[in-house]
């Protein structure tokens, strides 16, 4: 009887363990719930790991015809359910091996069975990843939002034009312009070309509408829609706008901070608008007289604007205090309030 020293016996056991682990088949890398489960996808299709795409597709078609539920004829009870399970397994194997990326991940799993977490991550990342490119989804979404924007702006603009057509002030001016241009001259029509009064009236309304649309500059939320204002164009032109703003800001700092130049009228209006916290469209909708008043009061200076704002607030308080409607509202809030129910005596 041969007796090994204690250290020699430990090395011998470690060697036997390593040899047993290295001799395990590749099937030990297969995990339930991943790819073909505990089956090897290559064995399911009956092909080798070196098989080409054409060989894999040919093997899949043959097995699919054989085990398809509509063609398979069970010989014993229970074979139909087994054929359905077999068909799903064949389809899963084909889906795994027909794609190069999926096949590469599967081969890596067979070659590196110890990296379970990496296999789970690679499998479910591919399964749960969107089938469509995210960039395409974002582009389609932006295009849809831009289309809704443009249609909404067109609707608002048409509503404004329809309202202005009914205003006597603008209607009279448009009628005078149309008469001067000879667009409303009624010539006598005879024969088949003679139009009815309704047709003539409709034509005159269309002429007046076109003149109002071309002559009146509507600003604010009801202004004429422009393709350059929609989201898609704004995002496409963003680099241009950004570079232009950086150049403008650098020029502003150089002129008025470094060189100490005096503000021009355009710069003064810009500072006034910034003090009032108004957008460009909101500021453009103001009357020219109001802008001249702002310039006369030198509201581009921050201290002057703060004094002007406090003065306007005091005027508004006095106006609300003397307004009969506000008096009635305060009396109603004091006596009844919005949350109180009252009933008529009758």
Q: Please, which pLDDT band fits residue 221 given cuts at 50, 70 and 90?
A: low
Average pLDDT over every residue of 310-318 = 87
Which range scores top for mean pLDDT: 36-40, 164-168, 299-303?
A: 299-303
Q: Please, which pLDDT band fits residue 317 given cuts at 50, 70 and 90?
A: confident
pLDDT at residue 121, as a whole number: 82
Q: Please, which pLDDT band fits residue 16 given cuts at 50, 70 and 90?
A: very low
- The segment(s) of the chain belonging to CATH 1.10.287.110 are 41-128
Indicate whether 67 pLDDT > 50. yes
CATH architecture classification, 41-128: Orthogonal Bundle (1.10)
Indicate whether 20 pLDDT > 50. no
Is there a contact between 157 and 226 (Cβ–Cβ < 8 Å)?
no
Q: Please, which pLDDT band fits residue 18 given cuts at 50, 70 and 90?
A: very low
Least confident range of 42-51, 101-110, 219-228: 219-228
pLDDT at residue 188, as a whole number: 59
Listed in sequence order, the residues at least 6 apart from 46 whose beta carbon sits closer than 8 Å to its beta carbon are 59, 63
Indicate whether 3 pLDDT > 70. no
Which is higher by pLDDT, 253 or 16? 253
């Amino acid at each position: 009887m041969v007796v090994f020293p204690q250290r020699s016996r430990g090395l011998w056991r470690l060697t036997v363990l390593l040899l047993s682990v290295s001799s395990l088949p590749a099937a030990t890398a297969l995990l339930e719930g991943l790819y073909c489960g505990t089956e090897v996808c290559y064995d399911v299709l009956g092909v080798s790991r070196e098989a080409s795409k054409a060989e894999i597709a040919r093997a899949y078609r043959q097995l699919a015809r054989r085990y398809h539920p509509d063609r398979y004829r069970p010989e014993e009870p229970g074979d139909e359910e087994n054929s359905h399970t077999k068909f799903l397994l064949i389809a899963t194997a084909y889906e795994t091996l027909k794609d190069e990326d999926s096949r590469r991940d599967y081969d890596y799993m067979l070659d590196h069975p110890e990296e379970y977490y990496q296999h789970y991550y690679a499998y479910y990342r591919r399964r749960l990843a969107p089938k469509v490119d995210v960039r395409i989804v974002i582009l389609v979404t932006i295009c849809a939002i831009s289309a809704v924007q443009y249609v909404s702006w067109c609707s608002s603009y048409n509503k404004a034009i329809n309202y202005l057509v009914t205003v006597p002030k603008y209607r009279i001016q448009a009628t005078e312009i149309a008469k001067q241009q000879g667009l409303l001259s009624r010539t006598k029509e005879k024969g088949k070309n003679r139009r009815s009064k309704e047709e003539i009236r409709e034509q005159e309304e269309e002429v007046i509408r076109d003149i109002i649309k071309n002559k009146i500059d509507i600003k604010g939320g009801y202004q004429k829609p422009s393709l350059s204002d929609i989201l898609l164009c704004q995002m496409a032109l963003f680099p241009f706008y950004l570079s232009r703003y950086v150049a403008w800001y650098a020029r502003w700092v150089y002129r008025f901070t470094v060189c100490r130049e005096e503000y021009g009228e355009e710069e003064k209006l810009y500072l006034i608008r910034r003090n009032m916290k108004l957008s460009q469209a909101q500021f453009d909708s103001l009357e020219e007289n109001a802008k001249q008043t702002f310039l006369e009061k030198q509201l581009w200076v921050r201290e002057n604007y703060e004094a002007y704002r406090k003065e306007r607030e005091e005027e508004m308080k006095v106006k609300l205090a003397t307004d009969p409607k506000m008096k009635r509202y305060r009396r109603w809030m004091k006596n009844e309030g919005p949350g109180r129910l009252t009933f008529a005596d009758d």
